[in-house]
A and B are shown apart, each in its own frame.
Chain A
Amino acid sequence: MKNEKITINIMLKELGYSVLKAFGIFFFSLLVAFGFNHVYSNGVPLIRKSPFEVYTDCPEVMGELPEITLDKLPQGSQKVVYMDARMADEYIKGHIPGAFFMPMYPVDNPNLKPLKKLEKGTWIIVYGSKKVQNAERLISLLMNEQIRGVHILKGGFKAWKNSGRKVEKNPLKYKELNWIKENFADILFVDIREPDSEKKISTSVNFPHDKLLAPEKKVLSALKNTPKKHLVVVTEDGEEPENLKKLQWNAAELNARGFDNVYIYKGEMKNIIEMENK
């Protein structure tokens, strides 16, 4: 191999040229990359519209989410919609007045259809309870569904409450056997046991307890369309602490979904069945 003498000046000159040539390689790579991506069947869009979500036992949300602080919330004539991503039991204890109930169940996604009817330019402010990242999951879902103008409230509901702003509550209501006896004809019973449970009240709808999924639409519509004035949530033995929790959970679920005539019966279901048979 023939040797050619390299001086320091030549070397420096070549190093300098290498920077220019590097730009050449870079732009050539850009052309090849975009060209290949354009024709390749597995190609991706140039801009990603929403963050990646990593679904594990505990869903993590990656990327940047548009955050908004309390002091930057839109004021005056601007249209704002608040969306509460927490579960019903938290929602009924206190929520931002007028907030949509959009719980992010561990498995199921909420129905987003009503949001698509919102006027253009409406601000959507999502809030939740930080510890389970439900607000982050909801905002990612909205962004994936091409819903724009969404922001996450920094600090969640706790920040709203601590700032002394107005809070709305839907407290749970309980009724005794005597009241049930007096209003029996106006009551539709909501049985939270499994559908195959034995001994049912004849005027009852099955609404099984489930913390993972949203309630079935057909059950909700049956409850909505009932001519009965009151809904009473019942189970085998409501006095058992575990059963009472389930009763409260299901009643809260209905309450948060706009049913304001929901009551809990803490006693045993057999008392009602006996009353019905008499």
Chain B
Amino acid sequence: MMTAWKTYTEKFINLNFHSYLGLLIRLIIGVTFIYAAWPKIINPEDFAWSISMYEIVPYKYIYLMAIVLPWLEMICALTLIFGFWTRASSLIMCGMLLMFIIALSIVIINEVEMSGCGCFTQQGAQALEEHKDTIGYSLLIRDILMLIGGGYVWLFDRGKIGIDGLLRRYKNA
């Protein structure tokens, strides 16, 4: 019974299909992260201000996060696209996505309290409401989908179509 399970699992993980689907997912996540990271890299002050809006990170460490996070996104995105240390970069991607999902969830939950402070009247409340519908939930869903994709790459894509595959072939030759 156990041997049969092992055989089927090994058959599944050896499917060529994983490399192609993995490549597609890597490209989607990689391009999204490069697109997201570049403005943050060139404008760390603005990104720091955005982080402060979440009210999760103590203000002292906001700059540290604004310096490190965009580069981590950029480097992971590049390694993911080129298939170098594919599993490691997808693991970091998953960690970051999990962090974003938690942060977004906190913001969405806190919105009730924020709009109730009396300061976000008219334009403020309207902006929050728009934020909730157009950015909040759609971003959350996008991040969850990317997390599932990242998890798939971590488990099943060995970077066969990429530098990892080339290095392995060179090593085995």
Report A's interface with B, CB cutoff 8 A.
1-8, 11, 14-15, 17-22, 24-26, 28-30, 32-34, 36-37, 42-52, 54, 56, 58, 60, 62-64, 131, 133
Residue among A6, A25, A30, A64 with max Cβ neighbours from chain B (10 Å): A25
Residues of B within 8 A of A (CB): 6, 9-10, 13-14, 16, 19, 41-45, 48-49, 52-53, 55, 58-64, 66-68, 70-72, 75-76, 79, 85, 87-92, 95, 118-119, 121, 124, 154-155, 158, 160, 168-169, 172
Closest to A59 in B: B119
Q: Which residues of chain B have C-beta atoms less than 8 A from A44's C-beta?
A: 44-45, 48, 63, 66-67
Q: Is the interface of B mostly helix, strand, loop or mixed?
A: helix
Instruction: Tell me the smallest distance from the CB of A129 to a CB of chain B, in Å.
Output: 13
Kindly report which residue of chain A lies nearest to residue B75, judged by CB atoms: A29
A45 to B60, CA, bound (A): 10
Contact B119 A6 (CB under 8 A): no
Chain A: minimal CB distance from B23 (Å): 12
Query: Assuming the A-B contacts A58-B119, A64-B58, are A32 and B44 also in contact, with contact meaning beta carbons closer than 8 angstroms in the complex?
Result: no
Which of B14, B19, B89, B121 interacts with A25 by CB under 8 Å? B89
CB distance B91 to A47 under 8 Å?
A: no
Count chain A CB atoms within 10 A of each CB in B53, B63, B124 and give the residue with the most. Answer: B63
> What total of A-B pairs shows CB separation below 8 Å?
132
Contact B85–A21 (Cβ < 8 Å) = yes
Residue in B9, B72, B169 whose CB lies within 8 Å of A29? B72
CB–CB A42/B42 < 8 A: yes
Instruction: Say whether B91 contacts A19, CB under 8 Å.
Output: yes
B residues less than 8 Å from A48 (CB atoms): 48, 59-63
Task: Give CA–CA (A56, B92) in the complex, Å.
Answer: 37
Q: B66: nearest residue on chain A (CB-CB)?
A: A44
Contact A1 B85 (CB under 8 A): no
Contact of B87 (CB < 8 Å), options: A1, A6, A15:
A15
Known: A26-B72, A47-B60. A52 touches B87 (CB 8 A): no
- Which residue of B is nearest A52, CB measured? B52
Closest Cβ of chain B: how far from A128's Cβ, in Å? 15
Cα A94 to Cα B9 in complex, Å, equals 77
Query: Which B residues lie within 8 Å of A37 (CB)?
Result: 44, 67
Chain B residues positioned under 8 Å from A3 (CB to CB):
14, 16
What is the CB-to-nearest-CB distance from B66 to chain A, in angstroms, rounded to a whole number?
Answer: 7
